[in-house]
């Protein structure tokens, strides 16, 4: 039998057409062509060029200075983030994980230094500057007028951090911030004077400070961003509309009265043509300007014959005035993660659950901001302070203690419900005293020590604590008598 040879069939690759996903926003609709006219592909640093940041910064400063809502939002954010100032708790000094009296000494020394340099006030000013300018800077330097540790923190305007003029474009020099190859700040170029001072200022006179001596506090919105932009950038035009609308309403309401007359027109007030008899082909004479009248209570008027005066109907503000303002404020607050009842300072339209829910979202944003403050501001400040303090007290400067920062807590609308919920969480073991005290901005060790002192003093005075029963007090007295025997 003859064997059939298996012949391999040659396959020809045919192109497969895959239908790609289509995005309507990538097309060129005629109606929205002007809307996307300014869209570009610039990098974050290129988009935030010095000219762009300066223009946005100047407009934000102007709007904040003249708009009560903008100014109030800035104060609200600064006061909630910084509050009375962050408090230090040293968790571990020598790496043993054991609490020691040295940790308490460090906490008290830092607290005394922070009060002397008015650190909380400077931090609030820096946070407000970050809100308006988009970023805030501070220089760590020596102040011989301070007692003990002479480290001082001096906030400076972001206008003073500028790059050199008329130089070749350097991707590692972002308007005064010198970077290494990995994008880490190495040093900062700070002008000797503010370029906006009234006195003459030379922008070529500047000093370079190492990155360890400069605090740069800003929010990084995109990758490879090294300078901040005002937090009002997305809503500056809305603030302008809000003020313009209010001013228009007030201007319309300022029209107090209208003068009218039924008297016939004077024939001499028209120019009659020769071709047409009694036909007015010209225009009336220019109206005579009325003198300004200052009205006061009880004033009466006399008018010429044929003239009447009537009061303008009060149609402003309209019923939609408050609704329109509230919609604008809600859109403004959305860009800053602030609910409308906080930005407006009015929760009259809310019930308890809705108001509480909005406040919780705002508090989450504040906690994130406080975490950035710990990393970008408080950590370098404490490291610099501890190195000088350790040098003065003969400690090892290279071993920085493990610390934790506490900020002011948020007050609950219903303290009784919060206390009951806290008791349940502590009893179930789902939380601990450090977490609960941290929410209130308190040091749990100080709370326990103070509580122990209060209980001890109450026992000596024979006062029954609410957390103790009479049987517990009798057991304590019996134990004390046995110890005395």
Interval 297-347: pLDDT, tens: 666 777 777 777 776 666 667 778 888 888 999 999 998 889 998 888 888
User: How many domains in the chain?
Assistant: 3
Q: Which domain holds residue 122?
A: 42-252+331-410
Q: Would residue 463 count as lying in a domain? A: yes
Q: Would residue 306 count as lying in a domain? A: yes
Model confidence, pTM: 0.76
Domain boundary among 294, 311, 330: 330
Supply the angle between the helices 236-253 and 321-335 in degrees, to the nearest 10: 160
- Residue 267 and residue 245 in one domain: no
Question: Cβ-count burial of 217 within 10 angstroms (0-12 exposed, 13-18 middle, 19+ buried)?
Answer: buried
Closest CA to 383 of 178, 140, 111: 140
Closest CA to 388 of 142, 207, 210, 40: 142
- Residue 58 and residue 162 in one domain: yes
- Residue 259 and residue 341 in one domain: no
- Residue 323 and residue 335 in one domain: no
- Residue 118 and residue 241 in one domain: yes
Q: Which structure tokens are listed for 267? A: 């024939």
The model's confidence at residue 414, banded by pLDDT at 50, 70 and 90, is low
- Residue 238 and residue 301 in one domain: no
- Residue 136 and residue 99 in one domain: yes
Q: Would residue 402 count as lying in a domain? A: yes
What is the enclosing helix (H) or strand (E) of 373?
Answer: helix 352-373
pLDDT at 21 over 80: no
Closest CA to 177 of 156, 158, 195: 158
- Residue 193 and residue 181 in one domain: yes
The model's confidence at residue 274, banded by pLDDT at 50, 70 and 90, is very low
- Residue 376 and residue 462 in one domain: no
- Residue 222 and residue 267 in one domain: no
- Residue 337 and residue 189 in one domain: yes
Q: Would residue 438 count as lying in a domain? A: no
Interval 419-474: pLDDT, tens: 777 787 878 877 777 777 776 767 777 777 778 888 888 888 888 655 544 455 45
Interval 222-244: pLDDT, tens: 888 999 999 999 999 999 888 88
Q: Would residue 82 count as lying in a domain? A: yes
Domain boundary among 360, 378, 410: 410
The span from the CA of 85 to the CA of 111, in Å, is 10
Q: Would residue 183 count as lying in a domain? A: yes
- Residue 261 and residue 354 in one domain: no
């Amino acid at each position: 039998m003859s064997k059939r040879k298996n012949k391999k069939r040659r396959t020809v690759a045919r192109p497969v057409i895959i239908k790609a996903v289509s995005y309507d926003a990538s097309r060129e609709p005629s109606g929205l062509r002007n809307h996307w006219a300014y869209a570009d592909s610039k990098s974050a640093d290129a988009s935030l060029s010095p000219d762009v940041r300066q223009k946005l910064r100047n407009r934000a400063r102007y709007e904040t200075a003249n708009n009560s809502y903008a100014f109030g939002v800035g104060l609200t954010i600064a006061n909630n983030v910084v509050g009375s100032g962050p408090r230090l708790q040293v968790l571990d000094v020598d790496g043993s994980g054991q609490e020691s009296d040295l940790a308490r000494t460090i906490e008290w020394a830092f607290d005394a230094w922070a009060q002397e340099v008015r650190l909380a006030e400077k931090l609030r000013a820096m946070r407000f500057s970050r809100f308006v300018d988009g970023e805030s800077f501070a220089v760590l330097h020596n102040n011989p007028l301070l007692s003990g540790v002479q480290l001082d923190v001096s906030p400076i305007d972001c206008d003073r951090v500028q790059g050199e003029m008329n130089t070749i474009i350097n991707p590692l020099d972002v308007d005064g911030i010198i970077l290494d190859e990995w994008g880490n700040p190495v040093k900062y170029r700070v002008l000797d004077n503010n370029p906006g001072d009234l006195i003459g200022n030379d922008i070529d006179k500047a000093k370079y400070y190492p990155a360890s001596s400069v605090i740069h506090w800003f929010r990084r919105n995109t990758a490879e961003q090294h300078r901040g932009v005002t937090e009002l950038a997305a809503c500056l035009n809305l603030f302008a509309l809000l003020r313009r609308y209010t001013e228009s309403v007030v201007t319309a309401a300022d029209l107090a009265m209208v003068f009218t007359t039924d008297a016939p027109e004077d024939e001499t007030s028209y120019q009659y043509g020769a071709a047409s008899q009694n036909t007015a082909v010209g225009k009336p004479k220019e109206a005579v300007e009325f003198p300004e009248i200052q009205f006061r209570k009880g004033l009466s008027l006399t008018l010429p014959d044929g003239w009447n005066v009537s009061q303008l109907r009060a149609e402003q503000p309209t019923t939609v005035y408050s609704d329109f303002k509230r919609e604008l404020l809600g859109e403004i607050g959305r860009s800053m993660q602030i609910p409308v009842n906080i930005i407006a300072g009015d929760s009259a339209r809310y019930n308890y659950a809705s108001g509480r829910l909005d406040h919780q979202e705002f508090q989450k944003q504040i906690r994130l901001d406080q975490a950035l403050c710990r990393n970008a501001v408080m950590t370098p400040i404490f490291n610099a302070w501890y190195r000088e303090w350790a040098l003065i007290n003969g400690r090892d400067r290279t071993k920085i203690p493990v610390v934790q920062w506490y900020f002011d807590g948020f007050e609950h609308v219903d303290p009784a419900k919060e206390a009951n919920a806290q008791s349940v969480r502590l009893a179930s073991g789902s939380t601990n005293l450090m977490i609960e005290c941290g929410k209130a901005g308190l040091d749990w060790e100080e709370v326990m020590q103070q509580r122990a002192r209060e209980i001890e003093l109450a026992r000596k005075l024979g006062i029954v604590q609410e957390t103790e029963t009479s049987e517990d007090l009798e057991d304590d007295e019996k134990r004390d008598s046995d110890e005395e025997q």
